[in-house]
Chain A
Amino acid sequence: MKRTLPLTIVLGCGIFMLIAFFVPVRWFQDASQTLQTWYLGVIAFFVFIGIFNLVRINVLKIQHKRRDWQFSIFLLIFLAGMLLAGFIGGPDGTVFLYLFQHFQIPLSATMFSLLAFFVASAAFRAFRARNPEATLLLIAAVLVMIGRVPIGVWIWKGFPSLVEWIMSVPNTAAKRGIIFGIDLGLISMALRVILGIERSYMGGKD
């Protein structure tokens, strides 16, 4: 039951959706549409459980006074603040939008921008041409880095065209080969999931 029911669901839903794609019967199409709408509803809960777990973990951290527990208080205060602002004033409320604009936007953008510094440090310490393949990689990287910015045009007028050719020819060829490999792998994995051969996503021993 604990294994049979879920496997029946994945097989049933998967086969039904595959058949519905090819069968132009009204009932089939309506049922397929309903299943897709329900799918949209259910995946929203994936995020809700994530938020619930986040709160639970941080409350436990505060309760047991684990390392850096004081900062969890900041997390919970701001989470509560956003929830209150959102549920009282609505997602277009002044307070909610103010918090979004002056907290979330700068924090999110700054976090990601930190990577620029680490990329520069990595460029100095780690990007070494130790073999012919690595040399080819670095040459392509340098050409793209210089050719894709205005200083590349200033150095040599042909740089943008050269970079565009690199992107459109060797890059496209390799990426397309990789796309084929990924797509065939995805189709094989999808069939394995629908047929119940691949079950690791279900978790548990039974």
Chain B
Amino acid sequence: MLTTIGIWIAAFLTLSIYSFLYKDNPFYKAAEHIFVGVSAGYWTVYLWFNYALPNLFLPLFRDGNLWYIIPVVVGFMMFAPLIPKVSWLVRIPLTFTMGISMSLFILQIVQGDLLPQLQATFLPLTGIPPFQVFSNILIILGVIFTLIYFYFSKPHKGALGVAAKIGIWFMMVSFGAHFGYTVMARISLLIGRVFFLLHDWLRII
């Protein structure tokens, strides 16, 4: 019974959102605001029970690990902008998190992204079928020409201009493929909702 009521609620909310396609209306606005409220409530509960409580407040209050006062105080400094006199204190948690995350970026992006991708660009040109040779040459040239396009210290004229132009062509193919996949993604989301309406709610498929 409760499941059936839940399905009808979900269907009503789905159709309320879709009513926007005809015209903006109070049903859509109400559903939109309900969405924000439910999401905000969900995130708050989940973060509290899955992170803040077991990893910050329990070690401090239950286990008595007094070092955890520091991250708790720094965390509460996020609320400093509410008091104009001490609003500058918000910089402390900001700079703390930026310092940690930026250093991790440098270390891991070199190790995890830049070097492996560079390594992968050194592709074999012999001992493989001719079409694979052609593809590998295309990949190597495509990477080089794309990088040349983003080199703006010299005007894109002459040979540099031609290389930058070819780089644009590679990027256009990539963006076109990306657009194709974007359309696919959006249609898939619509299929999911229509499937719910026809299968779970109306039971006609």
Binding site for B on A (CB under 8 A): 2, 5-7, 9-18, 21, 34-49, 51-52, 54, 68, 71-72, 74-83, 85-87, 90-91, 96, 98-117, 119, 123, 133-134, 136-145, 148-149, 165-181, 183-184, 186-187, 189-191, 193-194, 201-204, 206
Task: Decide: A6 and B92 in contact? CB cutoff 8 A.
Answer: yes
For residue A115, which residues in chain B have a CB less than 8 angstroms away from its CB? 186, 189
Residues of chain B lying within 8 A (CB to CB) of residue A75: 33-34, 36-37
Instruction: Check if A190 sits within 8 Å of B102, measured CB to CB.
Output: yes
Specify which chain A residues have a CB less than 8 angstroms from the CB of B11 in the assembled complex. Answer: 106
Contact present for B36 and A5 (CB under 8 Å): no
Residues of B within 8 A of A114 (CB): 17-18, 20-21
B13 at the interface (CB under 8 A from A): yes
Residues on the B chain within 8 Å of A106, using CB: 10-11, 13-14, 193, 196
- With A18-B106, A79-B37, A116-B187 as known contacts, state yes or no: A44 contacts B31, CB within 8 Å: no
Measured between beta carbons, the chain B residues less than 8 angstroms from A17 are 99-100, 103-104, 107
User: In the assembled complex, which residues on chain B have CB atoms less than 8 Å from the CB atom of A111?
Assistant: 17, 32, 35
CB distance from B175 to the nearest CB of A (A): 6
With both chains docked as a complex, state the minimum distance between the C-beta of B199 and any C-beta of chain A, in angstroms: 13
A137 engages B172 (CB within 8 Å): yes
State whether the Cβ of B126 lies closer than 8 Å to any Cβ in chain A: no
In whole Å, how far is A103's beta carbon from the nearest beta carbon of chain B? 5
| Contact partner, B39, options A13, A104, A148, Cβ 8 Å | A104
Scoring B14, B29, B106, B167 by chain A CB atoms within 10 A of each residue's CB, the highest score goes to B106
A79 interface neighbour in B41, B51, B147, B189, Cβ under 8 Å: B41
Output the nearest chain B residue to A101 by Cβ-Cβ distance: B6
CA distance A72 to B37 in the complex (A): 9
Contact partners of A202 in chain B: CB under 8 A: 91, 94-95
User: Is residue B79 contacting chain A, with contact meaning CB distance below 8 A?
Assistant: yes
> A41-B56, A71-B33, A79-B38 known; A144 and B150 CB under 8 Å?
no
- Per the bound structure, the CA–CA distance linking A51 and B46 in Å amounts to 13
Give every chain A residue within 8 A of B32 (Cβ-Cβ). 71, 111
**Bound-state Cα–Cα, A187 to B34, Å:** 41
- Secondary structure at the A interface, as helix, strand, loop or mixed, is helix
Known: A9-B92, A83-B45, A179-B113. A190 touches B105 (CB 8 A): yes
Interface centre among B14, B39, B144, B192 (most CB of A within 10 A): B39
Asked whether any CB of chain A lies closer than 8 Å to the CB of B88, the reply is yes
Q: In the complex, are the beta carbons of A42 and B169 less than 8 A apart?
A: no
13 interchain pairs (CB within 8 A)? A41-B51, A44-B52, A71-B32, A74-B34, A74-B37, A103-B35, A106-B11, A107-B13, A110-B193, A144-B177, A148-B181, A175-B174, A180-B147
* A40 neighbours in B (Cβ, 8 Å): 51, 55
Are A2 and B49 in contact (CB-based, < 8 A)?
no
Query: 4 closest pairs, A vs B, by CB?
Result: A82-B41, A173-B142, A177-B146, A140-B176
Instruction: List A contacts of B39 (CB < 8 A).
Output: 104, 107-108
Q: Which of B87, B106, B170 is A173 in contact with, Cβ under 8 Å?
A: B170
For A166, what are the chain B residues with a Cβ–Cβ distance below 8 Å? Answer: 173, 177
Q: Which among B7, B29, B75, B172 is the interface contact of A45 at CB below 8 angstroms?
A: B75
Q: Which of B81-123 contact A (CB under 8 A)?
A: 87-88, 90-107, 109-110, 113-114, 117-118, 120-121
Interface residues of B in 137-183 (CB under 8 A from A): 138-147, 149-150, 167-183
Docked-complex contact A177 and B172, CB < 8 angstroms: no
A23 to chain B, nearest CB (A): 13
